[in-house]
Chain A
Amino acid sequence: MIEAILNYEFLQNAFFSGLIIGVIAPLLGVFIVVRRLSLIADALSHVTLAGIAGSLYLSQSFAGLALLNPIYLGIVASVSGSILIERLRRLYKHYEELAIPIIMSGGIGISAIFISLASGFNTDLMSYLFGSVSAVSRQDLYVVMAIAVVVVLFLVLFFKELFVLSFDEEYAKASGLPAKWIHLLFMVVVALVIAASMRIVGILLVSSLMTLPVAAAMRLARGFKEAIILAIVFGELAVIIGLISAFYLNLAPGGTIVVTSIIILLLVIFIKKIVLKVSIKSKGEEVL
Chain B
Amino acid sequence: MKKILIELKDVSFQYEYTQALKNISLRVHEGDFLALMGQNGSGKSTLLKLILGLLKPMSGEIKLFGEQANHFKHREWIGYVSQKSNAFNSGFPATVEEVVKSGLVQKVGLFKRYPKDADILVKGALKDVGMEKYLKRNIGQLSGGQQQRVFIARALVSDPKLLILDEPTVGIDRENVQAFYDMLAHLNKHHNMTMILVTHDVDTVSDRVSHVACLNQSIHFHGYKNDFDTISEEQIASWNGHSVRKIH
Contacts and interface: CB of A to CB of B under 8 A. Distances in A.
Contact of A160 (B78, B92, B114): B114
Query: Which of B75, B76, B110 neighbours the largest number of chain A CB atoms within 10 Å of its CB?
Result: B110
A161 B89 contact: no
Contacts of A177: 105-106
Given A167-B94, A170-B54, 12 more contacts: A157-B111, A160-B105, A163-B98, A168-B82, A170-B82, A172-B105, A174-B53, A174-B82, A175-B75, A177-B106, A223-B93, A227-B93
A176 B53 contact: yes
A160 B108 contact: yes
Contacts of B94: 163, 167, 223-224
Interface string A205-227: 00000000000011001111111
A164 B75 CA distance: 15
B137 interface: yes
B92 A167 contact: yes
A163 B52 contact: no
B17 interface: no
Interface in A156-206: 157-158, 160-161, 163-164, 166-168, 170-178
A217 B93 CA distance: 9
Contacts of B138: 222-223
B15 interface: no
A237 interface: no
A163 B113 CA distance: 13
Interface residues of A, number: 28
B82 A222 contact: no
Contacts of A170: 54, 82, 84
A83 interface: no
A221 B98 CA distance: 13
Interface of A: 34, 157-158, 160-161, 163-164, 166-168, 170-178, 217-218, 221-227
Interface residues of B, number: 34
Given A167-B88, A171-B80, A177-B105, A221 B93 contact: yes
B84 A222 contact: no
A222 B88 contact: no
Contact of B85 (A161, A168, A176): A168
A185 B94 CA distance: 23
A172 B95 CA distance: 18
Contacts of A218: 91, 93
B88 A223 contact: no
Contacts of B32: none
A219 to B, nearest CB: 9
B52 A174 contact: yes
A44 to B, nearest CB: 23
26 contacts: A34-B89, A34-B92, A34-B93, A157-B110, A157-B111, A160-B102, A160-B108, A161-B110, A164-B102, A167-B92, A167-B102, A168-B85, A171-B80, A174-B80, A175-B80, A175-B106, A176-B73, A176-B75, A221-B93, A222-B95, A222-B137, A223-B97, A223-B136, A224-B95, A224-B98, A225-B98
A222 B134 CA distance: 12
Contacts of A174: 52-54, 75, 78, 80, 82
B106 A226 contact: no
B43 to A, nearest CB: 17
Nearest to A219: B93
Nearest to B95: A223
Nearest to A214: B93
A90 B86 CA distance: 25
Interface string B93-124: 11101110010111010110110000000000
A222 B99 contact: no
Nearest to A230: B93
Query: Which of A168, A174, A223 neighbours the largest number of chain B CB atoms within 10 Å of its CB?
Result: A174
Contacts of B97: 223
B46 to A, nearest CB: 14
B84 A161 contact: no
B151 to A, nearest CB: 8
A226 B93 contact: yes
B84 A168 contact: yes
Contacts of B106: 175-177
A132 B92 CA distance: 35
Nearest to B104: A160
A223 B110 contact: no
B158 to A, nearest CB: 9
Contacts of B88: 167-168
B209 to A, nearest CB: 22
